[in-house]
Chain A
């Protein structure tokens, strides 16, 4: 059964700092990994989707990497801003092939202090 772990559970940093969020998954037979952002009381916003054939994806100040063999992904946020404060979730398909549903971690709650 696919399990996703995110560390740290919470992170507080001063504005301007670069930071890394970690995600690990138990079954490396995935075909993609997706990072989401969730603001309090809101739904999820897709940030980046990495296909299994890719090693990384970039969008603005965000860079996500994927190492399937070790079952790990990182989300790098450059020059953090108070507006980046949110919970960040990573998600992968389950162990069974051919399913489109997602298995989520519990998320990392990020606070960027001005």
Chain B
């Protein structure tokens, strides 16, 4: 079946503009995660959605970052007033209840803020 998909694959934006990144999880996966990976670094947790529960937003770096998950499926990560330090690869992952520990990652969106 289809894996996790993300769009766009690459995004170049000017400092101060807003961007939206999209994630389509694996069908039936109840958990969805967003991570950020800066150049040469490990992944930094941003936000976690599980079913209809309130999301865990503890990893969002500032109030310019927000995310929503509509209908328990597709998720959008929004970054307002982008800054150069927001440049990174944004990775989305999903997991099922039966295998909640194993996360399946999408290919990521490479964001470049100029």
- Do A and B pair up? The answer is no
Which residue numbers of B lie inside 8 Å of A, CB to CB? Answer: none
